[in-house]
Structure 1
Amino acid sequence: MGAHRSRRLAALLVLLLSVSACASIPETSEPKAVKEVDGSNTTIPVNPPPADIDPLALVRSFVDKAASPASNHESARKHLAESMERNWTPPPGMLIVENVDTIPVATPQPLPEGVQLVTLRADRIGRLLADSSFVPETGEFAVDVRVELQSNGQWRITTPPPDLVVSKTSFSSIFRPVPIYFLDHDLTGVASDLRYVVAQPATTLPRRVIDLLTSGPSEGMRQAMRTAIPPGVHPKTNTTEAADGAMEVNLSELGDVSPDTRKLIAAQVVYTLEGVSSARVRIKEEGVPLLPDGKDLRPTDMEQYEADNVQRPDLPGLAVVDERVLVLDRNARPIPGPAGSGEYDVVRAGRSPHGGKLAAVTRRPGGVALRVGDFGEQLAELPTIGNYMSKPTWRGEEEAWTVVDGRDVVRVVDTGGEWTPQTVDTRALPTGRPITDLRLSRDGTRIAAVIDGSVVVAGVAEQDGHAVLQRPVVLRAPQGMQVTSVEWRQDESLVAITDSNNYPVYDLSVDGFRWEPYTAANLGQPLTAVTVGPGGQVVVADRHGIWQSQDTDDVWSLTDAPIGGASIPFYPG
């Protein structure tokens, strides 16, 4: 609940600023329309490029203006020759780039007078897909663009790039990330799917996010996430504020759905709208209240649907210190049972989300073994053995995962008093590269792994009783840095530690669009572990001790725990 509350405050602030600084702008119109609305409530024309702009600057300007979809990309269209301007159909999606440069092409034969070829070069960031999700890409982008002098003496583009190429700066100024909520792995709570929508006009944001919700999960998460909304259901009327200030969502007929399913639909709608509106939500089906009581809803009414997917603030952090598990507080006392007493030589450990179970990697002759059982009790040694195992991670209270020898992902499942190992299908992951860390999202729909120094995020699907990792996406750290460990911070963000002295810790979006460094003050390499506590507090360990930070701008401070370096802190999950 803490993660959602922090997002609620941020969303409310963004919404208030947006509403106070915008006016109504038509999203679509005939191509000939040239009107937009600025922040002062005054209509202004969509101006063409500056007079006498040279071909190189014209192509750069085209890339900068292409992110705006207003009036069918009218701002970008103004850079095209008259015949092309009328007939140009922007391709679906966007290729987002940075470090844009334009270079004149040296051709073996002279070009006709009034014709120039310009090479557009940039570094790829990724693509905004047709379903409004982002997928990262790397490498250089280059394409030749033909520019011709028009009869009015102005240069215009006659062969635009085959992709709709937009600069990251302009994309970030026009689009905003929003979480769209679907169902978690056991279909009892909500899980977020990050999308990008045009930020203005703010009054139409609710309609746009509800359209995305009723369209289902993004392409990359379609097998890992489900929705309670039946196929074919769509908004019957526009999602807008009613006269009394409530946000009204009127869905088409749902068909024969159970009361529990209706409540799940309500949770999906309420949490999705939370990111773009602070109004209470009134949900209807064909004009009739969705739920029997018919009351307006707020996120606080839906908290039961996220309770299993957020950290419990009453459960303390723990740490593996000198092969024992200690409580991460000022007393640093051992936990009850053999994992705390030293009977087991604990190398790494993970506690279940509600605290009732513990999985521990323990030393044995010739390597390590996985032990699992009730917290504070004897832990059964399982036949899962190897030379190395990653820190165990949990999916609910009945399922723990680990990576064995950097190759095999194994989950152990509680099958009624016994823990049964199962191999996870990882064939979709990059092959031939070691998996050095793996963490399950708290909603159980995704994993974040470290493979060959990069973060890899993949969906978790169930097929015939087996877990299958699907649609992996590689999130490479900036400047070629090597990631050494990763952890989920919130539903839509991760925290990663690297081998860099200048940027040892990053906060990044789950799709890799955003990488934001923490300050390096007080930290020393190598960092040995990262974990996240309640409220998104990041905790890392280095050779000197265990450090904590609440925000990327905060200076790292030592925790109260009298624990030295080389320890491995962890919170439930």
Structure 2
Amino acid sequence: MRVRFARRVAVLVALLLSVSACASIPESSDPKAVKAVDESNATTPVTPPPSGTDPLALVRSFVDSAAAPESNHEAARLHLTLPERLDWGPPPGLLIVDNVDTIPAPQPVPLPEGVQIVGLQADKVGRLLPDSSFVPEVGEYQTQVRVERQADGQWRIATPPPELVASKGSFSTVYRPVPIYFLDHDSTGVVPDLRYVVSQPASTLPRRVIDLLTSGPSEGLRSSMHTAIPGGVHPKTNTTEARDGALEVNLTSLGNVPRETRRLIAAQVVFTLQSVSSARVRLKEEGAPLLPDAQDLRPTDLVPYESDNLARPDLPGLAVVDERLVVLDRNAQPIPGPAGSGEYDVVRAGQSPDGSQIAAVTRRPGGVVLRVGRYGAHLPELPTVGAYMSKPTWRGKSEVWTVVDGHDVVRALDTGNSWVPRQVDAHELTGGRSITDLRLSRDGTRVAAVVDGQIVVAGVSDQDGRVVLTRPIALASTQGVRITGVEWLENESLVAITDSNTTPVFEVSVDGFRWVPYTAANLGQPLNAVTVASGARVIVADRSGLWESRDTDDVWSLLQVPIRGGSIPFFPG
């Protein structure tokens, strides 16, 4: 009884606080400690379900309103009976579902007058975790909800689902994806960690994303991404717009950190804010400029930290054609050296991000072998052999990876005099299953792999001289297609080819929340390769040639290069 009373008091207090929440936010950035913005205490007006809503529609409406956190989920709470409304406290996190349906649930005994049991069923999409990251989840969701007619004749829910369940459509309306920027594997560039935040009120978005930034990477990427922001550092004042239009971010004391670390912090803050504000950023520490020589910053002032993980636009790309490497341009000339002359029987290949190195899988008696060396020069053989190897993929310019015989992930390291292969701990990723394709993100923090026809994304963690693939997440397609190849489109998204004639290519968000099909026009199965050029131009190869698309709605156009079908194009990385 005491617990129930305490819950009711907590709900009433939360509702009272929500009325005065906005008045407590200062308009200027006075040096006063502030609390984190609580999205559940926004003051957006909410209305009860329409009068006369029947039990089945009421439960569907409850699921549609559950994503909105305003005033402690008041929109969903208004669907409940009064006693349950006061007691209801949804747990942290959110289950997102699609194809929601409600049906009268059969009962073995008659129900009292004014009571109905509604069966709720839907397809699981995934979960929004307490750290605002999304993880996909598959399967059917089923539960039963008790609905009772109230004294005023309105139906209300007496026993809601045991967890907070929201429809995908309502979630997409209420929340927006925001990349929060951390540091890559060698702490030289920034890389996004995709989170989901409530889109309204827009005025508090900058503060909310800065709170996520200072809290560190999401749980699944904490061993793969880094941050330059020291632990315990948080906004000292509200992130607000100054009178001259600049967005002020005032952090607590950083301690004794060097200038380069301060610039990395500035890059994290500025790139994080660019998706929620176009204003220049005025970054401070305890009210003083963080960088005395650069008071106001825009993303263009910190380009080197982002371009460190971008494709080289001046390199044309290469292709494997008739077991030799050719330049992917209008002349399609072979590259210099034995990889272009036909001396090696090249099966697959990859070029380092700076274009200086080539890794090639070449034929040998009984299988294939990995060769790595300078572009245009002799490529020495490594003691990495097998019956099959995936297309090489690079982590910086001195580390190249491949998958041997579907299960052994090998990385070759440049020691200065030779390339030395090392094993990658990939047992979490494989789970005894076969890997047919594996691609490193340009920032080196994650891999995307094709494992038994599914995309699986995992973090790359450096642990005491070992490299481990951690926290693998399967990105299941709701269309039921089999994935045959994958490539990084951008740091936040992938492009995948499938065995389907109707949906041969997809753009997929890195967390699997969004699957957007490209048009199938002009493409023919099977697609044997996918790659991405600078400017996010997607190129796929089928039997008739190489096809290019710049957007999911574009019709595929034939790439104007004299290269026939069956070739394997690739760009640096």
Calculate the TM-score normalised by the size of structure 2. Answer: 0.93
Partner of 1:458: 458
Instruction: Please give the per-residue CA displacement for 1:164-202, whole angstroms capped at 9, x wherever unaligned.
Output: 100000110111101000000101110110001111111
Partner of 2:84: 84
Partner of 1:416: 416
Amino acid at match of 2:86: R
Q: What is the distance in 2 between the residues matched to 1:231 and 1:551?
A: 40
Amino acid at match of 1:305: Y
Partner of 2:8: none
Instruction: Please give the per-residue CA displacement for 1:386-418, whole angstroms capped at 9, x wherever unaligned.
Output: 000000000000000000000100000111221
Partner of 1:93: 93
Task: Provide structure 2 residue ranges, at least 5 long, that are not aligned to the other structure.
Answer: 1-13, 23-42
Partner of 1:111: 111
Partner of 2:345: 345
Does the residue aligned with 1:270 lie in a helix, a strand or coil? Answer: helix
Amino acid at match of 2:195: R
Q: What is the distance in 1 between the residues matched to 2:17 and 2:160?
A: 17
Q: What is the distance in 1 between the residues matched to 2:205 and 2:199?
A: 7
Measure how far apart 1:517 and its partner are. 0.4
Q: What is the distance in 1 between the residues matched to 2:74 and 2:403?
A: 51
Partner of 1:190: 190
Partner of 1:205: 205
1:30 to 3, 6, 16: 16
Q: Are residues 1:511 and 2:497 paired?
A: no
Partner of 1:13: none
Partner of 1:336: 336
Partner of 1:263: 263
Q: What is the distance in 1 between the residues matched to 2:381 and 2:176?
A: 48
Distance 1:32 1:568, change over 3 A: closer
Q: 1:271, 1:299 within 8 Å by CA — same for their partners in 2?
A: yes
Partner of 2:179: 179
Does the residue aligned with 1:379 lie in a helix, a strand or coil? Answer: coil
Does the residue aligned with 1:480 lie in a helix, a strand or coil? Answer: coil
Measure how far apart 1:478 and its partner are. 2.7
Q: 2:84, 2:158 within 8 Å by CA — same for their partners in 1?
A: yes
Distance 1:32 1:467, change over 3 A: closer
Partner of 1:120: 120
Q: What is the distance in 2 between the residues matched to 1:474 and 1:193?
A: 17
Partner of 2:528: 528
Task: Map 1:364-379 onto structure 2 (within 5 A).
Answer: 364-379=364-379
Instruction: Please give the per-residue CA displacement for 1:353-388, whole angstroms capped at 9, x wherever unaligned.
Output: 111111000000110000001111111100000000
Q: What is the distance in 2 between the residues matched to 1:205 and 1:32?
A: 17
Partner of 1:317: 317
Distance 1:187 1:45, change over 3 A: closer
Q: Are residues 1:54 and 2:54 paired?
A: yes
Amino acid at match of 2:16: E
Q: What is the distance in 1 between the residues matched to 2:141 and 2:541?
A: 39
Q: Are residues 1:566 and 2:566 paired?
A: yes
Q: What is the distance in 1 between the residues matched to 2:256 and 2:311?
A: 35
Query: Greater shift after overlay, 365-374 or 413-422?
Result: 413-422
Does the residue aligned with 1:124 lie in a helix, a strand or coil? Answer: strand
Calculate the TM-score normalised by the size of structure 1. Answer: 0.93
Q: What is the distance in 1 between the residues matched to 2:45 and 2:135?
A: 34
Measure how far apart 1:260 and its partner are. 1.0
Distance 1:266 1:29, change over 3 A: farther
Query: Greater shift after overlay, 298-307 or 453-462?
Result: 298-307
Distance 1:32 1:458, change over 3 A: closer
Does the residue aligned with 2:176 lie in a helix, a strand or coil? Answer: strand
Q: What is the distance in 2 between the residues matched to 1:559 and 1:401?
A: 28
Q: What is the distance in 2 between the residues matched to 1:531 and 1:152?
A: 62
Measure how far apart 1:112 and its partner are. 2.0
Task: Map 1:70-81 onto structure 2 (within 5 A).
Answer: 70-81=70-81
Q: What is the distance in 2 between the residues matched to 1:50 and 1:244?
A: 45
Q: What is the distance in 2 between the residues matched to 1:257 and 1:32?
A: 39
Q: What is the distance in 1 between the residues matched to 2:259 and 2:475?
A: 40
Distance 1:44 1:375, change over 3 A: closer
Measure how far apart 1:45 and its partner are. 4.6
Q: What is the distance in 2 between the residues matched to 1:305 and 1:44?
A: 38
Partner of 1:19: none
Does the residue aligned with 1:223 lie in a helix, a strand or coil? Answer: coil
Distance 1:158 1:34, change over 3 A: farther
Amino acid at match of 2:243: A
Q: 1:66, 1:164 within 8 Å by CA — same for their partners in 2?
A: yes
Measure how far apart 1:163 and its partner are. 1.3
Q: 1:34, 1:71 within 8 Å by CA — same for their partners in 2?
A: no
Q: What is the distance in 1 between the residues matched to 2:533 and 2:357?
A: 18
Task: Map 1:433-444 onto structure 2 (within 5 A).
Answer: 433-444=433-444
Partner of 2:25: none
Distance 1:34 1:269, change over 3 A: closer
Measure how far apart 1:29 and its partner are. 5.0
Q: Are residues 1:149 and 2:158 paired?
A: no
Q: 2:44, 2:70 within 8 Å by CA — same for their partners in 1?
A: no
Q: 1:30, 1:71 within 8 Å by CA — same for their partners in 2?
A: no
Does the residue aligned with 2:429 lie in a helix, a strand or coil? Answer: coil
Does the residue aligned with 1:272 lie in a helix, a strand or coil? Answer: helix
Distance 1:32 1:188, change over 3 A: closer
Measure how far apart 1:317 and its partner are. 1.2
Query: Greater shift after overlay, 286-295 or 240-249?
Result: 286-295
Partner of 2:37: none
Q: What's the RMSD between the two structures over aligned residues?
A: 1.5
Aligned positions, number: 540
Q: 1:177, 1:196 within 8 Å by CA — same for their partners in 2?
A: yes
Measure how far apart 1:291 and its partner are. 1.0
Q: 1:183, 1:225 within 8 Å by CA — same for their partners in 2?
A: yes
Q: What is the distance in 2 between the residues matched to 1:47 and 1:180?
A: 33
Does the residue aligned with 2:296 lie in a helix, a strand or coil? Answer: coil
Q: What is the distance in 1 between the residues matched to 2:16 and 2:181?
A: 33
Does the residue aligned with 1:86 lie in a helix, a strand or coil? Answer: helix
Task: Provide structure 1 residue ranges, at least 5 long, that are not aligned to the other structure.
Answer: 1-27, 37-42
Amino acid at match of 2:396: G
Amino acid at match of 1:509: S
Measure how far apart 1:31 and its partner are. 7.5
Q: What is the distance in 2 between the residues matched to 1:434 and 1:213?
A: 36
Distance 1:35 1:222, change over 3 A: closer
Instruction: Please give the per-residue CA displacement for 1:50-105, whole angstroms capped at 9, x wherever unaligned.
Output: 11211111100000011111111111110011111122112111100000011111
Measure how far apart 1:150 and its partner are. 1.4
Q: 2:407, 2:430 within 8 Å by CA — same for their partners in 1?
A: no
Q: What is the distance in 2 between the residues matched to 1:126 and 1:425?
A: 27
Amino acid at match of 1:55: P
Does the residue aligned with 1:191 lie in a helix, a strand or coil? Answer: strand
Measure how far apart 1:33 and its partner are. 5.6
Amino acid at match of 2:302: M
Partner of 2:240: 240
Q: What is the distance in 1 between the residues matched to 2:45 and 2:154?
A: 19
Aligned sequence identity (%) = 70
Q: 1:456, 1:474 within 8 Å by CA — same for their partners in 2?
A: yes
Q: What is the distance in 1 between the residues matched to 2:173 and 2:253?
A: 37
Does the residue aligned with 2:211 lie in a helix, a strand or coil? Answer: helix
Amino acid at match of 1:69: P
